[in-house]
Structure 1
Amino acid sequence: MATSMRATINIARGMDGAIAEILLGAVKGQNLAAERLLALSAAEAPLDSNSGGTLIASGTVVPAAAVGDDSLVTYDTPYAARWHEDQELVDNLGRHYMGDSNFQNGRKSHYLVDPARENKAELIAIVAAGVKRG
């Protein structure tokens, strides 16, 4: 006599919660990657001549609150963008500044975008780990 057994498992029911956890993990990972980028960029950001670290101290992360939000790494001094781009400048008096500054101790312009590009794989891995932890 042959006996058969059949089971139907409905996993769709719990998927909403699982998906929500995965997405929450992605946001957490994204925010952790932004914190890592802040640390990487602070190691390359120019030092101010007066206090030595005003620019670096102004660096912050604005975390993403929800899926689809960006995590932002920002530096907030009047010269942060100028030093980051460090290109030729003509001021309102017509004076030329050639850019290409020689910042001290290996510090440099493009102190935010360069570490993001150079450490892309690490930053992606941080986000991926957040997704896995979900």
Structure 2
Amino acid sequence: MTQRGTVRWDGDVALDAMRQGAALGVRLAAEHVLTESRRRVPIEEATLERSGVATVDEANLTAAVSYDTPYAVRQHEELQYRHDAGRTAKYLERPLIEEADTATAIIAAQVRRALR
């Protein structure tokens, strides 16, 4: 017994949904890295911590996490500075590396969700 069926494939709709899911995933992944970074950022008056932002370029599916104070780079790079417990130099670099798998999983989950 042979069964026949028809499958309608709308590739443009699928690609659009995938791109929208990826864009949301990139945003959520960047926010995740920012959150983890804020847990390590050196804190004196919390100005540096509050200056952290995650920005997303949805057209290129890229994101950036940054801190905007005159001393942000110096605090990040100076390994000899002393910080409170749990606060450290490389407060952005280390979470980015350590959370790479989680960030990838966040993006993948949003793409899968968009394709349902």
Normalising by structure 1, we get a TM-score of: 0.77
| Aligned partner of residue 85 in structure 2, secondary structure | helix
CA positional deviation for 1:111: 0.3
1:84 is matched with 76
Distance 2:64 2:77 in 1: 18
Query: Are 1:22 and 2:18 an aligned pair?
Result: yes
- Structure 1 runs (4+) greater than 6 angstroms displaced: none
Separation in 1 of the partners of 2:3 and 2:46? 71
- Cα RMSD (Å) of the superposition? 1.7
2:64 matched to 1:64?
Answer: no
Structure 1 alignment gaps of length 5 or more: 87-98
Residue pairs, 1:28-39, within 5 angstroms: 28-39=24-35
Indicate whether 1:122 and 2:115 are aligned. Answer: no
Q: CA deviation at 1:7?
A: 4.0
Question: In structure 2, what residue type is equivalent to 1:57?
Answer: R
Query: Which structure has more RCO (C-alpha within 8 Å, separation ≥ 6)?
Result: 2
Distance 1:72 1:4, change over 3 A: closer
Structure 2: tracts of 5 or more residues without a match: none
